[in-house]
Structure formats: structure tokens, C-alpha cells
Structure 1
């Protein structure tokens, strides 16, 4: 890539996968898919059916390169990012899109449909949502203890902060629902 060429633009899903390959290289496509499946964080890249085509496309586009694993009859390859892949990854890393700053929140969207539920069903929904977030927090803690990724502490702090903020929000919703039923 010459200095005047514009780096390839990556979607967030592509950037996430390419970043993972870069951090864990050399890595097989199977291990990439397994990493996503074990992650407590929701991701579009959870299925093998999404990982393998993206790996193949990255290879064709020159963002990664593979080399066969010795003595592997299945033709398994280990992947590494190329210089072109690192340039694209750095461009993705430096870019901020509005959707990254306030991502879609399905729980927030569901609350907008509270009119379909009775008052007690709303309270029950909030209590169940809080219980599910507590389970996710425990899963996140367990994952963090097993991880040895560089900068994992930053990602963990972000994820736990998001969970705390959601729990605080649900506490405010619950308080308001309980307060409004007391005044009825």
C-alpha cells in the first residue's frame, strides 16, 4: 500500500474480527469463532458461519495471510494480519461513528412498549431484567478471571460500567413504578 492509498474501511464487525486476529495471531479461524462463542459480550460474530466467510474475504482482500498448519490433514491455516490489514485496523480504531457512541439498547426499546403490560407485569419485568443482568455480571467476572488479553482490564471496566449503569437505570424505573402504585 502506498502512502497515498486510502486504507480499507471496516465495519465494526469486520474491525472487531480483524482486531481479534491481530491480537491473537497466529490464530486459526476455528479459534477465532471459539473466542467469540465463549465471550460474554453480545456479538454478531458468534457463529462459525459468519467467521469463516469473513476470514476468507479478508484473505482475498490482503488484510490477513495464512499459512498451513504442518502435518494437518484438514488443511487448517493460521492467520496473521498483513501490513495492509494493520493500516485498515488502525483507521478503524481511530474512527468514531455515532452508533458506537450510543449503541442500540434493546432493553430501552422494550420499556417504550410498557403500555402492553399491566402495572405488576412492568414491575416483574424490571425485576427479571435485573436478575438477568446480575447473571451477566457473574459471567463477565468469570470470563475476566480467565482472560489474559492485553488491555483486558479496560474492556472489563467498560463492560462492568455499562452493566452498573443499566442496573442503576432499572432501579430508578422500579422505584418510579413502585412509587406510582403507592399513590394509586
Structure 2
């Protein structure tokens, strides 16, 4: 999947709402869900879930699953996109920053929550939960190459995310989050 940077300010603003990131994560990890099912898991009203799912659909992040019945489940539109204010100006740059901060806030909250729950996991899963931190003294070019290698590792089981039939018995969603920053000069 190629990475398409989001440059439309309205699309970026759609991602600046923290609850929308929770919906995206729920649909990514648990598959298609109706607004009612999202409400039950996330503790938000059905009307709110429906509204936010419709906003995500408007900008191409989710779509309704075709099928019988009045209540249609929503599913993730499988594509990889990036959010960055790099090369953007004014309102669009501010919208990109707001979307990125909403994503990070939600990501850090999910990480904190799951780290607190670690002791309740079966023993075989406890080693898979934690945080890592390191500092490397490398050049800009080495950093780009290093990140490409890490991204290749992160992509290793992507087909299982998109096709539940490929998931081995006993598999669970394991969230991997890669952050990379450079110290100021």
C-alpha cells in the first residue's frame, strides 16, 4: 500500500476529533461494526457514533458494508495515509497539526490503558506488552534507511489485518507504534 499524504484541510479537520480515532481503531482491530455496536464498546451514544462514522465516511476513511437489514455495519477503507504539516501552509498546516496531535493523544491514551491492563493478560501475552526506547547516533541518510527497515518489519503481517481468514488461531490485535524524532541542533 502506498502512502498518500493528506493535504485537504477539511479531511484533516475530520481527523482532529479524538473520538474519530477511537472509532477507526475499533473498526481496525475488531472489524465491521454498526453504530450501535460501536456505542456499546466505546461508551458513546449511538447518535454520536453514527454522526462520527458518517463524517469519517464523507472523507473516505470508512464505508458501510453492503448487505440485508436496516442497520449496516461500517468498515475501514484499507489504505495507508500520512499526516504531516510538511510543505503545507496556513489553515492546512494547522489542520494537519491538529489531526496529528489528536492521533498522538489517542495513541498515548490507548498505550497507557493497555499497559495498566498488562497484569490481567495470560502469561504468554505479557512479554508482548511494553515500551521500548533508544537513541541512535546516525546521519540523516542512515535514519531514512533505518526507518525504511523498521517500516518493512511493521508491514510484515498487514494482510492479516485486512483479511480475517488469514489470521491464525489464537491471534490477537497487537498494536505497534513507531515514533521517531530528531534532537535539535
The normalised TM-score by structure 1 is: 0.39
Between structures 1 and 2, the one with greater helix share: 1
Asked which structure has the greater RCO (Cα within 8 Å, sep 6+), the reply is 2
When Rg is computed on C-alpha atoms for both structures, the one with the higher figure is: 1
